[in-house]
């Protein structure tokens, strides 16, 4: 045991400063009784400290159990939320009008103007084809 508490080890010699040859047997008994009472008080204090430490330890263990329980619940909630997000069916896309699917428009112009231009282009190409055919027929007739 530590010396600062007033204890000496069992193998050590008794303190000579307290015990003098002039002390009587009753004085030595009284000293031993006082020392024994002091040891009892110190052991009671140690028991109180041990109880306090045990209470603090149990409280800390309870708090840790509550904390880790909360962490487990939070992790489960996060996993469930992620599973719900990944298992939801994909939203259906709107059905496009058949006009857009059949005739894709490469021009950036309005639909009416584009169709009017296409009609004029078709008419011009038809006229050119007719003129080419007419010229070919004229050449054939003159060469024959």
Residue reference for tokens 């009671």? 44
Range of the domain at 78: 27-91
Judge whether residue 7 has pLDDT over 60: no
Average of per-residue pLDDT across 52-70: 95
The verdict on pTM exceeding 0.75 is: no
The answer to the question of residue 108 being in a domain is no
Chain center to CA of 125 = 68
In this structure, of 11-15, 29-33, 135-139, the range with the lowest mean pLDDT score is 11-15
Q: Provide the pLDDT for residue 60.
A: 95
Residue 139 pLDDT class (50, 70, 90 cuts): confident
Judge whether residue 38 has pLDDT over 60: yes
Residues with Cβ within 8 Å of residue 31, at least 6 apart in sequence: 18, 19, 23
Cβ contact 105:111 at 8 Å = yes
The answer to the question of residue 74 being in a domain is yes
Q: How many domains does the chain have?
A: 1
115 vs 32, residue with greater confidence: 32
């Amino acid at each position: 045991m530590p010396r600062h508490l007033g204890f000496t080890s069992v193998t050590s010699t008794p303190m000579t400063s307290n015990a003098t040859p002039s002390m009587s047997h009753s004085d030595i008994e009284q000293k031993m009784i006082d020392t024994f009472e002091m040891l009892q008080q110190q052991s009671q204090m140690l028991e109180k400290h041990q109880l306090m430490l045990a209470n603090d330890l149990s409280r800390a263990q309870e708090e840790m159990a509550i904390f880790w329980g909360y962490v487990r619940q939070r992790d489960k909630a996060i996993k469930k939320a992620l599973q719900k997000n990944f298992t939801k069916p994909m939203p259906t896309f709107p059905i496009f009008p058949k006009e857009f699917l059949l005739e894709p428009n490469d021009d950036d112009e309005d639909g009416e103007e584009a169709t009017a231009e296409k009609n004029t282009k078709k008419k011009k190409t038809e006229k050119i084809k007719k003129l080419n055919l007419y010229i070919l027929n004229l050449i054939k007739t003159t060469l024959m």
